[in-house]
A and B are shown apart, each in its own frame.
Chain A
Amino acid sequence: MALEKNPSTQPTFSIARALQIALPIVVLTITAGYLARQAVSATGPGPAPDGQVDYRAIGAIPVSEDGRVKPLDTVARNALLQISGKQSMVDEMLLESEDKNEADRSAIRWLTEILTGRPEARDRAVFRIDDPELLGLIGKTQDDGKYFSINDLAPAAAEIQEQSIAASQKDDEDQTRFEKHLLELAHKVNLYRQLASGLRPHLIPPDSAEQDWEPLWTAASGTGMRINDAASRRAGWATWRDVLIAFQDGNAAEINDAVQAQLALKEGLARQDVRKAEFEQWFNAFRPFALGIALYTFAGVLALLTLMLRPVLGPGWYRSLWATGTGVLALTLVLHTGALIVRMWLQGRPPVTNLYSSAIFIGWGTVLFALVTELFSRLGIASLASSIVGVATLFIAHNLAMDGDTMGVMQAVLDSNFWLGTHVITITLGYAAVFLAGFLAILYIVLGMFTPLLDKKSARLLSGMVYGVTCFALLYSFVGTVLGGIWADQSWGRFWGWDPKENGAIMIVLITAIILHARWGNLLKDRGIMVLAVSGNIITAWSWFGTNLLEVGLHSYGFMDGAMQSLAWFCFSQLMIMGVALAVPTRFWWSFRPGKAKRQKTASLAGQLVT
């Protein structure tokens, strides 16, 4: 704001000036237009042409799974993601002569084949197997590819079953790598079987409010597959039977009619559930977090350009480029915020309920803090740091999604929106602030040591940013930690139990307190503060992930299996950065070389802004 008041920055009209104003507007419009197009195309191509099965309508069928009502589309995506690690299959057979939109929805095609008992389902190569020993067990080698069908696994089914039962009886820490992979595969096969045998999802809606959803096959109540006995059954049994019959005949028009009849049962369900399920299908196709990864990358590149081109750009172009990058970041944050709000509405919960949503929320918090910081500093550095964190956290979230439904139900003791909304939010914002400070510090070290870009004034600004963000990190971590204690006191009468997660939280409070005391007492110069801020990354990563890994004893499916290694690599990289920063005295840093100040004066950002 101060800039506009300064008369020297009010240039007269020129073509260059017009272009400078146009650049951010054009880029932002194009980006927003791209998002709008994605949003529209996520609503689907409209009714399927004659002679084709309307898979979108099948995906819209509301079902109940893992304690909540969701569209069949979500069940398909989650199951396929868990089994194959991809939301759309690579199977060539399925992609034949299909347009792109159809290919995107191959998850629902795959699930439909399974649910309707089509034989080709058993040939879909969806099970991902990397472990050579495991490949040996099913009589394959790495030359046969990574993906296998249930028919490929069938000859070894008994073997898999037997060995995995033996493995599951061992303590987690005694399991070999092969046994862990075997258990993972057995889990996937089990999921497939549940889908194929009608145990999952619960397909048959209740006829009245007193009833609950029913799966096709309920062993306990003895209703197993007596689907032809329609008279005594719920309406859903008859309509689903018609769907199955239609699929056996294979007539597309017949199938579509049967599916429409099944969809018509929505009228009997709670209005809210139906509306959510409808919206969720669109949300799945829109994939806002995948778009977020792309847009954060774009914003990061723009911020990097702003930073790199600073010495050669005039003030007008610099501001224009800065506004473009910051604008794209802000637009992505709007997308991110919208997606968070949709998730909150779908789930009826505060935004953070599990590890997946914590990753998404940390990215959001970091970008939010960074934008505020960016408005103060206008260096592009906060934008760069936060877009890195944004991409990284959304990527982590994407991998965590392989563990199943990301909007799963909460354990009884965690079922408190008040505490989820206060304790969990504040503590997660604390994580976000520490990560922002840590990545700003990394940029300080990298820019200072390897580039001439960090002149004295931007170094001071940057160090002030790290300080300010750390203050907020302490505030949020402390309040969040204590709120957690209060929740525990309210729930089981013990304020502080020294459990690993609590210890992780208090470690974050301690590191931020150390940084702030060191700065207040002038005990460390900027370099030392930056090194400590980077160590904050390690501690936060530890208390976010490491403690979970300790608690689950490394036993978990999918991504978490390799998470310990990723965490170790992350800590190692941070230690390297800290080590290099400590080992090289500042007078050897490119930006801080003695005698550099004079030459650099014209290139200084601060100089740019006011000249």
Chain B
Amino acid sequence: MTASSRLAIKIGALAVLTVPFILLAVELQVRRSMGDGGFFLLLSLAGVAILPAAYAAREWLSSLRITIALLATGLVLIFVGTLAQTAVGIWVAINDYFRSLWVMVPLDIFREALWPQATETIPGSFPMPGGFLIMGLLIINLIAAHSVRYKVKATGQKFYLGVALTLVSVVLFGLTVGIPDLSKAIQQDVILMLGIWTVPMALGTVATVMLFSSRKAGIVLIHAGLVLMLVGEFVTGLAAEEGQVAIPEFGGSNYIYDIREAELAFVTPLSSGKERHVVIPRSMLVRSADEAKPIEHPELPVSVRVDRYMANSTPVPEGPNPDDPSSIHWSVAEEEPYDGLDENVDHPSAVISLIRDGRVIGRHTVSAYSIVDPIEVQINGQPWRAYLRFKRTPLEYTLQLSDFRADKFTGTETARNYSSDLHLVDAQGQKRDVFVKMNQPLRHDGKAFYQQNFFQASTNLNTGTFLQTADNPGSWIPYMSCVIVTVGLCAQFGASLLRYGRRTAAKGIGN
């Protein structure tokens, strides 16, 4: 094998490695039109651009001292981040510490976490690299180390066979997660997954041993699995979507909602018996409030001007309902948004003006609280209902709840199990019974529905179920990386143990 063909293979491999990142970034860029996507597109392109420079400095970049320094910094960061979680809330700390490039750590979190009774606060703060920076540097360090210390030893036939086996292994792995039915089956059954993955894993291990020495094969596998895991964390952070479905008993639901996002919905009945929903996302509402500009939409008979947007609010009784004196008319007051602790939910509200032909035809308060009445107006003889709600993602099927059960252990308040008897009704009206309980989700349409909680409707004694939904295209990545790293660790330590055993057997203990 010539040096030039080796170089060509290296460049090819690097290019192949970069492609999914760029594709992912482009995909996110298109889908989300702003935010993280653009940043990572730039980062990926910058990564490609600095590759030659990094290659030149690879000796230095591959230093084990850097590895240890980064691991130790990561250790400290995680400790400090854990303390910060108790002080400022889990989600805020995750974004500040673990999903950031840089963080200023206030000294006061140590007091807050360890001596919460103390009343005096400690002033000052110190800077630390954030989770993304440490992870990124670790990946660079790892790749540099492999380009310097873990060179492919095999030549000739052995080399080509090794490469071919690697490719077969990657393709087989890819097929198991690429074929939808198979992918669904293995995610439902971890044992089946491990069984099916035995084949590509064995091929991959053999290939690694052929390409590298048996001494280093374990390390190569471990590191490959770790890189895959970090990639999975990035994919999850960027592409995973979480939401909830709430279904009252004997009722149904055909949408997922996201309590972290709001939207203003205009709903009108259609002649077909269905409803048309025209929605304005939160970002446009906020912009309208800031710029005092009305929002136009071709499907809306009115334009909407947001006079005030409240990120969080609380309901306030305003006296008897003018239409129905026996009930209360509710309004809202603005509240500080919560710090991100997940048990608290922000309920946004807004004051909006409906404008028609340049004239304000009504000023209303809309709120994510359902006790605040929606706006009901007739425009051109067409009835419209408008209200603020948590952002919905429609489903092409309906989930109906026939029974929810919360079992408790005899004589205790400890929940034994929550479970929901559901019917899944698809667009054609086909009905199928599904059963969801703790640790046994429903997987359908690329999404997973997990039993989360239940609610007691305040107006009647009906209960309902809360399902947590997750739509994560990379949910299989951690499984695969776990398998690869575990095989690598066992190979590495097993080989060391064998060598140690052989040595001691040859020499006799204590010699």
Question: Which residues of B412-442 are within 8 A (CB) of A?
Answer: 412, 414-418, 438-439, 441
B141-169 toward A: CB 8 Å interface, digit per residue (1/0)?
Answer: 00000000000000000000000000000
Q: Using Cβ atoms and an 8 Å threshold, which residues of chain A touch B417?
A: 412, 415
Q: Check: A575 CB closer than 8 A to any chain B CB.
A: no
Give the docked Cα–Cα distance between A507 and B83 (Å): 13
Known A-B contacts A500-B85, A511-B75, A513-B71; the reply to A521 vs B64 at CB < 8 A is yes
Q: A411 an interface residue at 8 Å Cβ cutoff? A: yes
Task: Closest B residue to A608 by CB, please name it.
Answer: B510
Known: A66-B409, A213-B410, A416-B439. A523 touches B68 (CB 8 A): yes
Q: Among the listed stretches A113-121, A146-154, A437-445, A485-493, which one makes contact with chain B, having 4 or more residues with CB under 8 Å of it?
A: A485-493
What are some 25 contacts across the A-B interface (CB < 8 A)?
Answer: A66-B411, A67-B412, A409-B409, A412-B438, A464-B500, A468-B497, A475-B489, A478-B485, A482-B486, A485-B482, A489-B478, A491-B438, A493-B472, A494-B242, A496-B233, A499-B85, A504-B82, A510-B71, A510-B72, A510-B75, A514-B68, A517-B64, A518-B64, A547-B82, A610-B510
B128 CB-CB contact with A under 8 Å: no
Counting CB contacts under 8 A, is B139 at the interface?
A: no
Contact with B along A282-308 (1 / 0, CB 8 A): 000000000000000000000000000
CB of B473 to closest CB in A, whole Å: 12
Of B68, B236, B242, B490, the most chain A CB neighbours within 10 A belong to B68
* A345 contacts chain B at the CB level, 8 A cutoff: no
Q: How far is the CB of B108 from chain A (nearest CB, A)?
A: 14
Q: Separation in Å of the B287 CB from the closest CB of chain A?
A: 31
Least Cβ–Cβ distance between B150 and chain A, in angstroms: 13
A162 at the interface (CB under 8 A from B): no
A514 touches B510 (CB 8 A): no
Contact in complex: B236, A496 (CB < 8 Å): yes
Please give, as numbers and ranges, the residues of chain B lying within 8 Å of A340 by CB-CB distance: none
**Interface: A479 (CB within 8 A):** yes
Q: Does residue B29 face the partner (Cβ distance < 8 Å to A)?
A: no
Name the segment of B37-45, B303-311, B501-509 touching the other chain: B501-509
Cβ of A12 within 8 Å of any chain B Cβ, yes or no, is no
**Contact pattern, A 385-425, Cβ under 8 Å of B = 1, otherwise 0:** 00000000000000000000000110111011001000000
| A169 contacts partner chain B, Cβ-Cβ < 8 Å | no
Instruction: Give chain B residues whose Cβ lies under 8 Å from the Cβ of A411.
Output: 414-415
Question: Smallest CB–CB gap between B414 and chain A, Å?
Answer: 5
Query: How does the 8 Å CB contact mask read for A5-42 relative to B, with 1 for contact and 0 for none?
Result: 11000000000000000000000000000000000000
Q: Using an 8 Å CB-CB cutoff, how does the interface string of A442-460 with B read, 1 for contact, 0 for none?
A: 0000000000000001000
Whether A160 sits at the interface, judged by CB under 8 Å, is no
CA distance A507 to B490 in the complex (A): 21
B448 within 8 A of A: yes
Closest 7 CB pairs of A and B: A493-B470, A67-B409, A173-B116, A521-B64, A606-B510, A482-B482, A412-B415
> Chain A 248-276 against B: per-residue CB contact (8 Å), 1 yes, 0 no?
00000000000000000000000000000
A492 touches B236 (CB 8 A): no
- Whether a CB of chain B sits under 8 angstroms from the CB of A529 is no
Chain B residues contacting A173 (CB-CB under 8 Å) are 116-117
A416 to B438, CA, bound (A): 9
Chain B residue with minimal CB distance to A176? B117
A493 and B450: CB pair below 8 A? yes
B94 close to chain A: CB less than 8 A: yes
Number of chain A interface residues as a range:
35 or more
From residue B393, how far is it (CB to closest CB) to chain A in Å?
15
Contact of B439 among A202, A490, A511 (CB under 8 A): A490
B86 contacts chain A at the CB level, 8 A cutoff: yes
Residues of B within 8 A of A67 (CB): 409-412, 414, 416
Which of A176, A201, A474, A498 has most B Cβ within 10 Å? A498
Asked whether, in the complex, the Cβ of A3 is within 8 Å of the Cβ of B82, the reply is no
Cα separation A174 to B41 with both chains bound (whole Å) = 48
Q: B338 contacts which chain A residues (CB < 8 A)?
A: none
Query: Beyond A489-B478, A514-B75, is A415–B411 a contact (Cβ under 8 Å)?
Result: no
Q: Cβ of B468 < 8 Å from any Cβ of A? A: yes
Whether the Cβ atoms of B450 and A492 lie closer than 8 Å is: yes
**Which residues in chain B, 65-79, are within 8 Å of chain A measured between CB atoms?**
65, 67-68, 71-72, 74-75, 78-79
Which residues of B17-45 are within 8 A (CB) of A?
Answer: none
- Do B190 and A486 touch across chains, with their CB atoms under 8 A apart? yes
Determine how close the nearest CB of chain B comes to the CB of A511; give it in whole angstroms.
6
From B81, which residue of chain A is reached at the shortest CB distance? A503
* Interface residues, chain B, with chain A CB atoms under 8 Å away: 64-65, 67-68, 71-72, 74-75, 78-79, 81-83, 85-86, 90, 93-94, 98, 113, 116-117, 190, 229, 232-233, 236, 242, 409-412, 414-418, 438-439, 441, 448, 450, 452, 468-470, 472, 475, 478-479, 481-482, 485-486, 489-490, 493, 496-497, 500, 504-505, 508-511
User: Which residues on B sit within 8 Å (CB–CB) of A518?
Assistant: 64, 68
- Asked if A493 meets B469 with Cβ closer than 8 Å, knowing A485-B478, A550-B82, the reply is yes
Judged by a CB distance under 8 angstroms, whether A77 is at the interface is no
By the criterion CB–CB under 8 Å, are B81 and A2 in contact? no
Closest chain B residue to A409, Cβ basis: B409
When distances are taken between beta carbons in the complex, the residues of chain B under 8 Å from A213 are 410-411
Q: In the bound complex, do residue A376 and residue B71 qualify as a contact, i.e. CB atoms below 8 Å apart? A: no
Q: Is A554 an interface residue (CB 8 A)?
A: yes
In whole angstroms, how far apart are the Cα atoms of A521 and B148 in the complex?
A: 14
| A123 located at the interface, meaning its Cβ lies under 8 Å from any Cβ of chain B in the complex | no
Given the known inter-chain contacts A486-B190, A496-B236, A510-B75, please indicate yes or no for A202 contacting B411, CB distance below 8 A: yes
- Asked if residues A506 and B439 are in contact (CB atoms below 8 Å), the reply is no
Q: How far is the CA of A412 from the CA of B418 in the complex (A)?
A: 7
Taking a contact as CB atoms under 8 Å apart, the answer to whether A493 and B511 are in contact is no
Do B439 and A498 have beta carbons less than 8 Å apart?
no
A472 within 8 A of B: yes
The distance from the CB of B460 to the nearest CB of chain A, in whole angstroms, is 22
A66: which of B412, B448, B479, B496 is its contact (CB, 8 Å)? B412
Q: Which of A2, A490, A495 contacts B504 (CB 8 A)?
A: A2
- Among residues of B, the one whose C-beta sits closest to the C-beta of A422 is B190
| Chain B CB within 8 A of A105 CB | no
**Are A486 and B470 interface neighbours, CB within 8 A?**
no
**CB-CB contacts of A465-479 with B at 8 A, as 1s and 0s?**
000100110110011
Asked if B508 contacts A610 (CB within 8 A), the reply is yes
User: Which A residues are in CB contact (< 8 Å) with B470?
Assistant: 492-494
Decide: B64 and A520 in contact? CB cutoff 8 A: yes
CA–CA, A486 and B480, complex, Å: 11
B485 touches A500 (CB 8 A): no
Q: Is A64 an interface residue (CB 8 A)?
A: yes
Tell me whether A409 and B416 are in contact (CB under 8 A). Answer: yes
Contact B490 A475 (CB under 8 A): yes
Tell whether A363 is near chain B: CB-to-CB under 8 Å.
no
A432 interface residue, CB < 8 Å from B? no
Report whether B113 and A483 are in contact in the complex, using a CB–CB cutoff of 8 Å: no
Given contacts A2-B504, A2-B508, A202-B410, contact A413 B493 (CB under 8 A): no
For the complex formed, measure the closest distance between the CB of B492 and the CB atoms of chain A, giving whole angstroms: 8
Identity of the chain B residue whose Cβ is nearest the Cβ of A173 in the assembled complex: B116
B93 partner residues in chain A, CB cutoff 8 A: 498
Q: Let me know if B493 and A475 touch, CB within 8 A.
A: yes
